[in-house]
């Protein structure tokens, strides 16, 4: 059964992404595209001529997608949270290498920003994992979701996690990595057709990746988990519609000043 879910993970993420586009449109009093729009986009991309800059560049994009898929599979199978964070790091590294491997200035800029985003959110993810370890005595997700009461013991870590969700799903105010108006999509810029499709799908998987961190905060109660995910989802989209993009360095500073200190305070509070 769990393997079916793993196989369907990109489709699940696509539905979330489609639903989000409708939600954001409704928040702006627009009608918005159909919920299945991401899949229409993907089918259309299959019908385009594919332009490739060079083979390693295209391949790194594909590898990024599959490593990310593996990461999501590891989450569904309840593996070690630290492994999952580092697997995700590996997937991001492949994407950044792809960005540096072509000569486009925008691609390089995008890769730089992708690195800075990594620097911003990676410590928070690790601290969240450490918090779970201190609470449940294990890094295994399977073990963690058998416990409960995380929200009471680690509220500040939850706030910190909610702050990095917009970075991961590329939403304002922290959508510096994509930034269509300034760097035209950043690392994605040189991809087209079939290979852009893989990057498009890895965005779906990012949704599942980051929101499953939100989900396991509820522990044993799946209903509460779903409520948490829905709440954070709404909040992120509200903030996205209401704010402008901050500059890259400001993003790192904000995350370090607020989210990182919140997490450290929370960890110390648990330990002491």
Among 132, 196, 207, 213, which residue interacts with another protein (rule: CB under 8 A)?
Answer: 196
Piece in contact with another protein (CB under 8 A), picked from 1-9, 31-39, 93-101, 263-271:
31-39
Among 110, 166, 185, 225, which residue interacts with another protein (rule: CB under 8 A)?
Answer: 185
Backbone angles phi, psi at 80, to 5 degrees: -65, 130
Among 12, 15, 19, 50, which residue interacts with another protein (rule: CB under 8 A)?
Answer: 50
- Shortest distance in whole angstroms from residue 183 CB to another protein: 10
Q: Say if residues 259 and 163 touch (Cβ distance below 8 Å).
A: yes
Residue 186 vs 225, nearer CB to another protein = 186
Piece in contact with another protein (CB under 8 A), picked from 49-57, 82-90, 95-103, 202-210:
49-57
Residue 126 vs 184, nearer CB to another protein = 184
- Shortest distance in whole angstroms from residue 60 CB to another protein: 16
Residue 19 found at the interface with another protein (CB under 8 A): no
Among 11, 46, 119, 257, which residue interacts with another protein (rule: CB under 8 A)?
Answer: 46
Residue 184 found at the interface with another protein (CB under 8 A): yes
Among 1, 49, 152, 244, which residue interacts with another protein (rule: CB under 8 A)?
Answer: 49
Interface with another protein (CB under 8 A): 21, 25, 28-34, 37, 40-41, 43-44, 46-52, 180-181, 184-185, 188-193, 196
């Amino acid at each position: 059964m769990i393997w079916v879910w793993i196989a369907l993970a990109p489709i699940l993420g696509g539905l979330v992404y489609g639903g989000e586009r409708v939600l954001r449109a409704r928040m702006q009093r627009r009608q918005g595209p159909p919920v299945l729009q991401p899949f229409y986009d993907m089918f259309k991309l299959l019908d385009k001529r594919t332009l490739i800059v060079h083979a390693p560049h295209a391949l790194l994009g594909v590898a990024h997608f599959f490593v990310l898929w593996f990461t999501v599979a590891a989450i569904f199978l309840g593996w070690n949270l630290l492994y999952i964070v580092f697997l995700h790091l590996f997937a991001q590294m492949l994407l950044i290498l792809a960005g540096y491997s072509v000569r486009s200035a925008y691609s390089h800029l995008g890769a730089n920003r992708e690195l800075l985003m990594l620097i911003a959110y990676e410590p928070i993810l690790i601290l969240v994992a450490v918090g779970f370890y201190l609470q449940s005595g294990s890094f295994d997700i399977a073990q963690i979701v058998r416990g409960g009461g995380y929200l009471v013991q680690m509220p500040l870590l939850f706030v910190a996690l909610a702050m990095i969700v917009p970075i991961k799903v590329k939403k304002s105010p922290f959508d510096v990595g994509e930034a269509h108006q300034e760097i035209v999509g950043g690392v994605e810029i040189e991809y087209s057709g079939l290979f852009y499709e893989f990057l498009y799908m890895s965005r779906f998987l990012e949704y599942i990746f980051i929101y499953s961190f939100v989900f396991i905060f509820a522990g044993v109660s799946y209903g509460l988990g779903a409520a948490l995910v829905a709440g954070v989802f709404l909040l992120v989209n509200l903030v996205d519609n209401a704010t402008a993009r901050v500059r890259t360095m400001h993003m790192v500073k904000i995350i370090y000043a607020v989210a990182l200190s919140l997490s450290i305070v929370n960890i110390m509070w648990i330990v002491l």
